[in-house]
Structure 1
Amino acid sequence: MEGRREDPNGSLSRGLLLVEPYCGFVPILGGEKVPGLVQFALDSAASFFRSLTLKEVIGAFWAPFSIFAGAFSAFAFNNRRATRERIDKEVIEGNLALSVLMKFLNHQFLYKRNYIDPHQGAPDAWFRIMPGPPLDNGIRVELNKNNLGFLLQSSGAVWQQTMIEEERYHQVKGAIENRNALLEKAWQKLEEAGFEHGSKIPASEIEKALGPVLFQQLKQISEALIEQVTLNVLSSGEAMTALRTDLVRMYPGRPFINAVLPPSSPPNPPSVATAKPASEAEIARARKGHRQPTGRYIPHEKGE
């Protein structure tokens, strides 16, 4: 509604008037503050809330509360599920790492027991150890480094120890393969010199038949291999124990693989520990009836 009012200076101004049931005509534009309108709003709000029932009040507050509670519950559930899945994955990766360490330990332990221990204590053990199959039997064994990253957050030393054991294992594997190749060359020369497999051959005769270069290569790699395998059997067991201890601490109540090794052979078999150097007669008998690498007897010895 449009009306006129007189300003403080006596002049009239035009503005909009509101028909207010309590205060009459109250200007809302082009004039002063409107306390009548504020009072009207407060009275209207009070009247509205007085008209509400308890059920309506609860319903008004319940709707936003239920939305918030549902969203929070969904977030908490998803968070718990993600945490459970992460822990399950890390437990699986930890057990897989323990399994690989167990393979490192078992392969080297069996090589030591079957090839090194029977000649333990013999002065020519470096030469008497026979060539064997590949350490991993042709099946590559390695750790999944990317999936073991969670160990870095809890124990970087355990992670590093585990990685080093893998390097040591592959170094031994390479040393065995190199020694097998050198031993094959060595026996070709020994057969040409008139020696048979399994015969007692003095180190001086071996060096004479092989030559100084091949003799030193074979001797050094064999001695290093004996030492490294012996140390690796101990360190691999220690690494596996450290990793399992750390995993049990991180995830109590979860099952983890434990190492069970087969029994060891006697460290010093009497037949080897008491072996005597070969005599001249034994060396002569070893030369007799030998074969060339082609498998044929030497003509002048045929029929002897």
Structure 2
Amino acid sequence: MWLLTAIGSAVLFGLAGWWMKVSQMKGGSSNGLLFGLYVSGTLGFGVHSAVEGTLSGIADWRLLAAGLVIGAGSAWGNALFMKSLEYGPASLTSPLTNMNIALVVGMGIVVYDEPVSAAEWTGIALLLLSVVFVSIRGKEPLTVTQRRWFVLVIAAIFLFAFRNGGLKVTEQLELASAPVLLVGYALSLLWFRQLDAADRNRIVPASSPDPAVASRRGFRWGLLAGLFSYAGLQLYAVALETGKASIAAPVFATNSLVVALGSIVLYRERLTKLQWTAFALTLAGLIVIRM
């Protein structure tokens, strides 16, 4: 059952990524988008915490500290990822930052002694390969000329690992996931609110798009994306509580395939052979894990 929960988390979180892509295609600003995402995500986790009766636990310093770390991993990870795209190709940047999942898998096995069978090892390897392949764009030159790209990518890997692996740590500490994510998303909201405000107040040439309009457009799509982000991460937290982080994490990482599938259906984008291979590897990995 927990594997189905992990698959559901990947689908829902992938839909959040899809609405982010739609915002980009519609000309929405990145900071407006992320501000909107964290607004609705924060509300989602707030309501969830109130309904399940865990909102009072927000006074626990351990929960606040965990929320701070996970929030930093989410907000700064996204910020550094977007910045790294300015200095290097997406075909290298995206799969490398997704390799934060390998750190989470290692944590589950080494720190928490999660048993992994031969079939599960094979499935994990197939899922990790699919995450890499879906991000590669065959026509993009794989050259990096800026040294700072390496620093940005390495930092993003560790920050995303704090987000994706931090929920396993909080589960072991018996901290409720919803208020932890509420704190993390609220802090991220404050961060991107400042960045979005700075964007809207920028002075641009008359021929350039109005930054205030782009901000509002991104914010609206971000509100929708945040609802799916909340639902996906909450399901991911449940999968970590009831199953193995070493398997739930790579399953969750396949959320990027949802964006690729949406691009085929709505934008008529053609996938490369490697991206079609990624779909096949994902199905094979899930089947092998269930064996």
TM-score (structure 1 length as normaliser): 0.26
Q: Which has the higher contact order (CA 8 A, sep 6+)?
A: 2
Q: Which has the higher helix share?
A: 2
More strand by share: 1
Q: Which has the larger radius of gyration?
A: 1
